[in-house]
Amino acid sequence: MKSLWRRIQTLPRRVWFVAAFVFFITCLSLAVLVSRDTPPAPATVPISQLLDMADHHQISKVVIVSNTLYATGTDGQQYQTTKEEQQTVTEQLRLDGVVVTVADGAGRSVGLSSLAAFVPLMFILAVIWFMMRRGGPNNQVMSFGRSGARRYSGDARPVTFDDVAGVEEAKQELAEIVQFLKYPDKFRSMGARIPKGVLLVGPPGTGKTLISRAVAGEAGTPFFSISGSEFVEMFVGVGASRVRDLFRQAKRHAPCIIFIDEIDAVGRHRGNNVGGHDEREQTLNQLLVEMDGFDLNTNVIVIAATNRPDVLDQALLRPGRFDRRVILDPPDINGRRAILEVHARSKPLAPGVDLAAIAQQTSGFSGADLANLLNEAAILAARSDKEAIGHEELEEGIMRVVAGPERRSRVVTEYEKSIIAYHEVGHALVMKSLKHSHPVQKVSIISRGQALGVTVQAPKEDSYLTSRAQLTARMASLLGGRAAEELTFGDVTTGARQDLEAVADLARRMVTEFAMSELGVIATPTRDGGSLSGAVAADVDREAMRLIDEAFATSRAILAERRGKLVEIAEHLKLVETIDGKELDRLLGPEWTFFG
Ligand code: NHX
Ligand code: ZN
């Protein structure tokens, strides 16, 4: 009983909705049929009395259904009576001037009551048909049993490694898994132990799900997908039973792949939270039990994804569990280009569009960002009835991914427009004045998302390290907006809060994480709950403040000295609204130099 209730609890909300709907329709149709088609209760009379009444012309109509007579009086009153098996009354009634109808077997009311039973039945069948159709074998996604996992199989076109770009090493490592799934016996006969679990590590949007699907697609096996958070968000006890169910399903469809996204939701190391999170722990234990329960012939490989491998419970990483680790980095320039090419396959690009240039301008974008960029560009091209996606659409696609879509409906006063323009040009001029800044890509006073204006920078090339000079240049650039407001208007606004937050965060990290202050190399594990003693904390604050102060002084000095350019370009920006990097260089002139 308890497990039944648990089962009911785990039903997807959609099923509940459908069930309630069917119930409602059933009640409704019954109510309608009953109220409409039940005649006023007939009076039951002896056959002799009915015939007498007919003789006295008190009966107008009779319906005979086998041995039952339904009579209607001249006054509208209904009568019912039963005749003898073989008795014929038709002739006599006819002589009395009564309209006689003989209905065979199923009378009117009988037909209606069967209809009443039939309507809800049809509804239920329709609903079942509808749900089957949604989850049929040709369908992409099939909601799977109690586990809640989605099973992907028999896709019209399975995902393959060709659809995955920019992560060549990961592809190579996973190609081996494909071999295990395809030819398990080959490995077994060599006495090789086939891995049970693979941990994919990488930031969001780097294609962890995609590459897992590609492994299944390449091996031609089913793919069960569930997110770790789905295990734990439900009612107590459900997580573990879902795990059990998922593995049961998977074993039935072996060889196959189980993909667990966000494994850290279940796999966080245990025991550090007071009060305990029993539910999660139970789920994790069940997962470990299931994986340990794989025998040599279980052709199921579990692929788990996370962007926080450091928080995982060590038990998950032990041999025989997720003992293989595949790293997915954000794509470099070549990777980005390859990803753009994959997504551009199905999209017409205008001649001369240079995806390499787009790749160059999108440092730091993930695969998902790039997919988004191309999709936005495609939407823009379609909306303006173009024949192909041009460079213009791609540029706007970048801006949309970076800062959101334009919000031209946001109306700003002329005065605010000035503030926005000077603020943005302040950023841009400081950036252009410091040698260690990245190039400016775009300066715009068109509202996007939450921002009233943006200045976009992009590195010339990808890098894995950032120097102190680069960080101090970044801090000064971030404060350039505020410095320009102050210098131009003698007052400052709330608009710079995001810049200020970023500066404060950067300064703090420079002191504590990167040891780039006068405190020198201090051991400060501040990431994730490390704590500082009161005295050191005060030192850190003081040093961070000093770094910010210096950066702000740099910004002010630059803008004070180059105020002419600030005014000139800001006034120009108010007219044109957007200036790109090339145009900015032109406006700065050939004599432009770095500051100091
Ligand atoms: C507000 N927004 O919140 C208005 C609408 C100083 C000319 N009342 O620094 O737009 O004040 O260089 C992501 C990015 C909030 C999230 C920017 C959330 C900005 C942006 C505050 C320009 N450009 N500030 C900037 C700005 C604002 C904000 C954000 C965000 C302004 C400044 C936002
Ligand atoms: Zn700003």
pLDDT bucket at 12, cuts 50 / 70 / 90: low
Q: What is the pLDDT of residues 174-189, one digit of tens each?
A: 999 999 999 988 888 9
Res 480: pLDDT:
98
Measured in Å, residue 497 CA sits from the centre of ligand 1 at 7
Nearest CA to ligand 1 atom 11: 495
Q: Express each pLDDT in 381-399 by its tens digit.
A: 999 999 999 999 999 999 9
At 427, the amino acid letter reads: H
Which structure tokens are listed for 122? 């049809």
E-only strand ranges, 374-522: 440-444, 454-457
Q: Return the structure tokens found at 505.
A: 């965060």
Q: Which fold has domain 338-403?
A: Helicase, Ruva Protein; domain 3 (1.10.8)
CATH code of the region 45-103: 3.30.720.210
Q: Which residues, 6 or more positions from 250, have their beta carbon under 8 angstroms from its beta carbon?
A: 224, 256, 258, 300
Q: Whose CA is nearest to atom 19 of ligand 1?
A: 451
Nearest to 168 by CA among 339, 351, 395, 403: 339
Query: In sequence order, what are the residues at sequence separation of 6 or more whose Cβ sits closer than 8 angstroms to the Cβ of residue 104?
Result: none
Residue in 442, 450, 475, 486 to alter for ligand 1 test, most ligand atoms within 8 A of Cβ: 450
Residue 304 neighbours by CB under 8 Å, 6+ apart: 197, 198, 199, 200, 228, 259, 260, 261, 263, 267, 316, 322
Instruction: Report the separation in Å between the CA atom of 495 and the middle of ligand 1, taken as the mean of its atom positions.
Output: 5
User: Whose atoms come closest to the Cα of 494: which ligand?
Assistant: 1
User: Which of the four pLDDT bands, split at 50, 70 and 90, describes residue 18?
Assistant: low
Ligand 1, atom nearest to 416 Cα: 7
Catalytic residue among 230, 290, 424, 486: 424
**Which atom belonging to ligand 1 lies closest to the Cα atom of 451?**
10
CATH superfamily of 150-327: P-loop containing nucleotide triphosphate hydrolases (3.40.50.300)
Give the closest residue to 569 by CA, choosing from 404, 428, 375, 371.
Answer: 428
Does pTM top 0.75 for this prediction?
no
Give CATH for domain 414-588. 1.20.58.760
User: Does residue 577 surpass a pLDDT of 60?
Assistant: yes
For residue 188, the model assigns a pLDDT of 86
H or E element, residue 18: helix 13-37
Nearest protein CA to atom 24 of ligand 1, as residue: 495
User: Is the distance from the beta carbon of residue 450 to the nearest atom of ligand 1 less than 6 Å?
Assistant: yes
Burial 311-329 (b: 16+ CB within 10 A, else e): ebbeebbeeebbebebebb
Q: Which atom of ligand 1 is nearest to the CA of 494?
A: 11
Residue extent(s) of CATH 3.30.720.210 domains in the chain: 45-103
Determine whether 461 is an active site residue.
no
* pLDDT one-digit tens code per residue, 213-236: 999 999 999 999 999 888 776 666
> What residue spans in the chain does CATH classification 1.20.58.760 cover?
414-588
Number of helical H runs and strand E runs in the chain: 23, 15
Over its C-alpha atoms, the chain yields an Rg (Å, rounded) of 38
For ligand 2, the distance from its centroid to the CA atom of residue 35, given in whole angstroms, is: 70
Q: Are 298 and 254 within 8 A, CB to CB?
A: yes
Q: Identify the DSSP state of 145.
A: T
Ligand 1 in reach of 423 Cβ (< 6 A) = yes
Residue nearest to atom 27 of ligand 1 (CA): 495
- 411 ligand 1 Cβ < 6 A: no
Query: What are the residue ranges of CATH 1.10.8.60 in the chain?
Result: 338-403
pLDDT tens-place string over residues 54-95:
888 888 888 888 888 788 888 878 888 888 877 777 777 777
Give Cα 211 distance to the centre of its chain.
17
**Terminal-residue alpha carbon distance, the chain:** 80
Question: Which ligand 1 atom is the nearest neighbour of the CA of 423?
Answer: 7
Q: Residues of CATH 3.40.50.300 domain(s) within the chain?
A: 150-327
443 alpha carbon to ligand 1 midpoint, in Å? 14
Kindly give the distance from the C-alpha atom of residue 91 to the centroid of ligand 1, in angstroms, as a whole number: 96
